[in-house]
Structure 1
Amino acid sequence: MNVECLALPIANRLAQEYQQQDASALQFFTHNPYHIQSYQERLEWLRGQTYSHREQLAEGLYTFNKKIGNHQEALRRIQALKNPDTYVVIGGQQAGVMTGPLYTIHKAVHLIQTAKRLSEELQAEVVPVFWIAGEDHDIDEIDHVYWLTDKETRLHKERMNLNKKGRVSASGLPLNEEACTQFLESFFHAQTETAETGQIRKLLTSTASSSDNVAEWFARLMAALFGKHGLILVESSLPFIRELERPVFEQVIEKNEQVAHLLLKAADRISTAGYPLQLQVEEHQANLFLYEGQDRLLLERHADRFVNRRASYSREDLMRLAADQPERFSANVVTRGLMQEHLFPTLAFIGGPGEIAYWAYYREVFELFGMQMPIVLPRMSVTLVEGAQVRLLESLDLRLEHVLNGFAEWKRDWAAGQEPHPLQKQFSATREQLLSMYRPLVEEVVRLDGGLRGLAEKNTNLLLEQVSFLEERLIRSLQQQDDVEHMRVQRIEASLFPDGGLQERKLSFFAFANKYGLSLVDRLVKAPFAHDGTHQIFFV
């Protein structure tokens, strides 16, 4: 199995320096994620904690995972959670249509591999848990999929009509059968028919038809892909989860001002250390959402009242609601980590660069609630490279690291070295002819009315710009049609660095599965990836 590693820069500097184990970034966290001693210390701390709800948690997880068709191996891992010496590694994602971009798949692989490695190193059972952020109401972030079209030279974005209304969460958004069918037909129409297409179509359609909402479709797909590797799925809006979270909701309401104060102090420390602020924290933030009907609305604290856009509550009102109707509450990006820490005996949380930058704010908040921040392990980043792309790279004498880091510069230098298209000379001559014909007219206009000089010059420039615009469009079109070299560059860019970013942030897993089969998941799970912060290259 061919895996290579590359050291790539991360746009988020705090996450970059944390990954590099720089002391200036590590100071905001409890543990170094790359030291085995950190995991031993965290394990000893967890062994001193009591999780009286283990039985209830396991029963609820078993019921949910059984419902979504999760594999017997995942169900076995859930039963193991009843054992006081079983621990978890956890990470999650929004419930993207068709599992969203590739990094969702990579995160699940990382969870599974990390749980296996830690079980062996610590001689304790560690199980992987995937937290589905089904309560998120940013539907525009989850309703689309990207794939390649036009001989794999162009990135296409297809949105699924989810009929979003108000601020409804993904877990409350019904999955419209007609919209889903149209979306899947668009996807398969754009894919080449292979021996794997029938199985992929069956999986996507059967899981969709069995699902009541977008979050459930996501859960069923993830269970089908990763269940046999023991991945446990949990969805944040499940009633039993809300019931178990009740004590944390109550504490967040009670200690609301203290939480806000600690976040502001953390922001000040992060800023003083020279890092840009990832979270916009303000004194009035309550760091909770409250459901009003189907709408998930952010709470803010003003004086002694907690308000959203529809209602106003006293602290006592919210405490009564938390006691009687915990299902109406929902965590935000700050309090979600507290919920996970309360629910699960968590050895490590696996997160991407943005999540790491968020968690830099939280250490003192965890301590306020009598908790310890878990180990925050940077998510593995992966690029899938196909054989055809390897051959294209060789034909262009282009190294993969230049594609993933510095491709814009390489492309500019490459374009400068290309022979101009013959038509470019003809366009240049045409511009000269137009100028020679138009200048005498402009001079005559200016002679008759000097006040029109500016307008005449602007008119001349517009005329030349139109010719240049036509030239650019035509040359680009001809290059796309006829120039093999340009086509190769476009294919490399679209498949490995689409929209100027990593492949995993755009492309869909199922386009790859259509070529290589669902067994691609098994190959990824078994791949010898390095979890050391380097970017992983997986040669499909």
Structure 2
Amino acid sequence: MKIIPEMLRGGSALAEDYIQGTGRASDLYEYDILHADAYAQRAKWLDKTEHLRLNRKDVVACLRIYNEQHNSHEAVRTSLDRLESPDALVVVGGQQSGLFTGPMLVIYKAATIIKAAREAEERLGRPVIPVFWIAGEDHDWDEVNHTYVMAQDRQAVKIKLNKQPERRSSVSAIKVDTAEWKQAMADIEQNLPDSEHKTDIMRMIEHGLTDSYGLSDSFARLMGRLFGTYGLVLMDSADPSLRKLETSIFRQLVQHNDELETTYQTTAARIMDYGYHLQADVHEGGANLFYIYEEERLLLFKKAGLFTDRRGLVAFTADELLEEIDRHPERFSNNVLTRPLMQDSLFPVLASVLGLGEIAYWAITRDAFGVLGMQMPILLPRMSFTLMEPGVEKHMLKYELTFAQVRDGLVERKKQWIATQDQLGMQDQFSTAKDAFVRMYKPLIQQAGMIEKGLLQLGETNCEKILGQIAYLEAKVQEALLRQNGTALRHWDYIEWSLFPFGQPQERAYTVYHFLNRYGLDLMDMIMDVPLDLSGTHRVIYV
């Protein structure tokens, strides 16, 4: 297996500085991941602060029920047994529950969690359990209701659930009907090319979707099939049983809300003063909590002494809100700024695995941890990959293309290549012919205009028509060249659609089932065999 580091465009300057230990990022995070003793320091702090977190056995009992339903593997049961041990720590990371597990970056994040937990366990000599946080409380349905595969014609095909929820509900609360699951399965089966693995892959997908209430359930089942044997523990942030355990934490988030808001705003201003961009909104008066009212997830704000939403559908005093939390904790959920606090209240988090954008917005929360007597955990960047298939590599070698050239876009390079296929030099000949025509014809027009003024305009019009006819023939010649090189141009398209569909990295578009259909479940073992790299480097894996 060949693995080559490559650069990707974009990313967060703040996250990059944090990972590399440069700039002023170190002032915005608790731990330096480059420090050799960071894990030991964090573990020592966690050992002293068990009392700040929810009862470990209660959390594990809740996770046992959930994982038996969705992720029933002996290795997961072992992980949960080990998590009950007072000295057990956790490496955690999460993602929204996308259709067919969503894009490949979800798979890479889960792999990073597992491998980072293993490495930490070896370094510390104590149990470190991998946990995947399914963000089922999120409500962005349009972000998770679809995915992409590459169909027979080597173009990306979007597969989407047609359901449109009437309200902005949590994804875990949105029911997907049997007919919709069947249509999604039919769509992916139709668009996945035939292969020796397709029957097994479709059987796996059917297991994940059949009888699932919604996207979060199907996501958990499919992730369990892929990672259960590695002992990855799954949890849904919208699990009602978990919500009951979190009652005391929601109370703290309300009781300290003003202080939390102040820390978020102060830190956000500091980040911008350092020259970085904010990756999450910090609203004035924001409570950073959601309340579910008539199945709709409402973001709460503080106004005139009340906790209310933008439309004024609900309004609570602080005491009323605390009473509502006690009666109905399942009606509450976190936003991006309070979720890290909830996560560390549930688990002894040694480290949290995040994407670069997540690392950047977590900076806003550092001092908020201190409000609740906690510390921000170590933040680890998820591994980032592009899978280079043999056919794509072959075409890139043939046309002498590098990964960077594909990354930066092939439009101009493709034009240049087409020009080289013009063996007769037709483009140059047309250019010469047009220049020669204008050079000879323009003086005639000027002389005609001297005879009669109206002939000047007529001549100019006539000139444009003739140039238009030449351009028409030139375009037809270009079309003929494209037809002659149609196969080669399809190769170029295949390269682009494979590595950067829609101009974005492969890992942000295609579902893992596109690749599992081609290479079988051995692909998962291959991904898990890739050495752990927490430097934030993007790597190309030659399959």
- Rate the CA distance shift 1:430–1:209 in 2: closer, same or farther, 3 A: farther
Contact 2:152 2:193 in 1 (8 A): no
* Alignment match, 1:397: 400
Aligned to 2:28: 28
Q: Which amino acid aligns with 1:122?
A: L
Q: Which amino acid aligns with 2:162?
A: N
Q: 1:464 to 1:135 in 2, by over 3 A?
A: farther
CA distance in 2, matches of 1:471, 1:42: 69
Partner residue of 2:209?
208
Q: What is the CA-CA distance between 1:474 and the residue it aligns to?
A: 10
The superposition leaves residues 491-525 of structure 1 with CA deviations (integer Å, 9 ceiling, x where unpaired) of 11111122222110111110100011122112211
Partner-residue secondary structure (3-state), 2:24 = helix
Alpha-carbon distance in structure 2 between the residues aligned to 1:329 and 1:427: 70
Q: Is 2:231 the partner of 1:230?
A: yes
The 5 Å alignment of 1:95-110 reads 95-110=97-112
Deviations 1:456-510 (A, max 9, x none): 99xx999999998998799679737843332222111111122222110111110
Q: Distance in 2 between matches of 1:350 and 1:204?
A: 26
Distance of 2:148 and 2:182 partners within structure 1: 17
Aligned residue in 2 for 1:123: 125
- Three-state SS of the structure 2 residue aligned to 1:128 is strand
Aligned twin of 1:138? 140
CA distance in structure 2 between the partners assigned to 1:463 and 1:215 by the alignment: 64
The structural deviation recorded for 1:533 is: 1.7
**1:337-366 superposed Cα distances (whole Å, 9 cap, x missing partner):** 001000000000111011011101111000
Give the match's secondary structure for 1:362: helix
Partner residue, 2:289: 288
Offset at residue 407 of structure 1 (A): 4.1
Q: Indicate how the Cα distance of structure 1 residues 469 and 268 shifts in structure 2: closer, same or farther if over 3 A, else same.
A: farther
Q: Please state whether the residue corresponding to 1:36 is helix, strand or coil.
A: coil
User: What is the distance in 2 between the residues matched to 1:134 and 1:428?
Assistant: 60
Instruction: Measure the CA separation in 2 of the matches of 1:198 and 1:426.
Output: 55
Q: State the match for 1:334 in structure 2.
A: 337
2:166 partner amino acid: K
For 2:79, the equivalent position in structure 1 comes to: 77
RMSD in angstroms over aligned alpha carbons?
3.4
Distance 1:234 1:409 in 2: 44
CA contact 2:181–2:209 (8 Å) conserved in 1:
yes
* Structure-2 residue corresponding to 1:319: 322
Assess, with a 3 A threshold, how the Cα gap between structure 1 residues 122 and 484 changes in structure 2: closer, same or farther: same
Question: How far off is 1:245 after superposition?
Answer: 1.5
CA distance in 2, matches of 1:467, 1:322: 76
| Worse-matched range after superposition: 264-273 or 143-152 | 143-152
**Is 230-239 or 389-398 further displaced after alignment?**
389-398
User: CA offsets, 1:156-181, max 9 Å, x none?
Assistant: 22322123221012111112221222
SS at match of 1:488: helix
- Per-residue deviation at 1:210? 2.7
Percentage of matched positions with identical amino acids: 34
The answer on 1:491 being equivalent to 2:504 is no
The whole-number CA distance in structure 1 between the counterparts of 2:190 and 2:465 is 42
**Letter aligned with residue 374 of structure 2:** M
8 Å Cα contact 1:480/1:486 also seen in 2: no
Distance of aligned partners of 1:293 and 1:116 in 2 relative to their CA distance in 1, 3 Å threshold: same
Deviation at 1:11, TM superposition (A): 2.8
Structure 2 residue identity aligned to 1:536: R
Name the counterpart of 1:521: 524
Aligned to 1:46: 46
Matches for 1:311-390 after TM superposition, within 5 Å: 311-390=314-393
Report if the CA contact (8 A) 2:392-2:495 is conserved. yes
Q: Given that residues 349 and 374 in structure 1 are in contact (C-alpha distance below 8 angstroms), is that contact kept between their aligned partners in structure 2?
A: yes
What SS does the corresponding residue of 1:141 show, helix, strand or coil? helix
**1:4 positional shift:** 2.6
Matched AA of 2:19: Q
- 1:403 aligned counterpart, secondary structure: helix
Cα deviation, 1:3-55, whole Å, max 9, x if unaligned, reads 23234454321122222221411221001123331111001101111245111
- Larger mean CA deviation between 236-245 and 326-335 belongs to 236-245
In 2 relative to 1, CA 167–430 (structure 1 residues): closer, same or farther, beyond 3 Å?
A: farther
Letter in 2 for 1:199: D
Give the superposition deviation at 1:419: 3.9
CA shift, 1:314, in A, is 1.0
Moved more, 74-83 or 99-108: 74-83
Q: Which runs of 5+ in 2 are unaligned?
A: none
Q: Structure 2 vs 1, CA of residues 316 and 216 (structure 1 numbering), >3 Å: closer, same or farther?
A: same
Residues 473 and 524 of structure 1, relative CA distance in 2, 3 Å threshold: farther
Q: Taking structure 1 as reference, are residues 536 and 513 closer, same or farther at Cα in structure 2, changes over 3 Å only?
A: same
1:436-451 aligned at under 5 Å gives the runs none
Q: What is the alpha-carbon distance in structure 1 between the residues aligned to residue 314 and residue 466 of structure 2?
A: 59
Indicate if the aligned counterparts of 1:61 and 1:234 stay in contact, CA closer than 8 A: yes
* Alignment partners' CA distance in 2, 1:430 and 1:388: 42
2:392 & 2:383 partners in 1: Cα distance? Answer: 22
Indicate yes or no: 2:280 matched with 1:279: yes
Distance in 1 of aligned mates of 2:351 and 2:468: 58
Change over 3 Å in CA distance of 1:427–1:40 after alignment to 2: same
In structure 2, relative to structure 1, the CA distance for the partners of 1:368 and 1:389 (3 Å cut) is: same
The code of the aligned residue for 2:198 comes to T
The TM-score, its normalising length taken from structure 2, stands at: 0.89
Q: Residues 193 and 30 from structure 1, CA distance in 2 versus in 1: closer, same or farther, beyond 3 angstroms?
A: same
2:474 & 2:221 partners in 1: Cα distance? 51
- Return the letter of the residue paired with 2:317: S
**1:75/1:466 CA distance change after superposition, 3 Å:** farther
| 1:480–1:487 CA contact under 8 A, matched in 2 | no
Alignment partner, residue 167 of structure 2? 166
Map residues 466-505 of structure 1 onto 2, 5 A cutoff.
Answer: 479=482, 482-505=485-508
Show the counterpart of 2:17.
17
Structure 1 contact 9–16 (Cα < 8 Å) conserved: no
Residue equivalent to 2:196: 195
CA distance in 1, matches of 2:530, 2:514: 20
- The number of residues matched between the two structures is 528
The answer for the alignment partner of 1:260 in structure 2 is 261
Between Structure 1 and Structure 2, whose CA radius of gyration is higher? 2
TM-score calculated relative to the size of structure 1: 0.89
Query: Matches of 2:470 and 2:149 in 1, distance apart?
Result: 34
Cα distance in 1 for residues equivalent to 2:6 and 2:172:
38
In 2 relative to 1, CA 69–361 (structure 1 residues): closer, same or farther, beyond 3 Å? Answer: closer
SS at match of 1:360: helix
CA gap 1:192/1:31 in 2 versus in 1, 3 angstroms: same
Aligned equivalent of 2:151: 149
The structure-2 alpha-carbon separation of the partners of 1:410 and 1:325, relative to structure 1 and needing over 3 Å to count, comes to same
Match for 2:496: what amino acid?
E
State the alpha-carbon separation in 2 of the partners of residues 421 and 246 from structure 1. 75
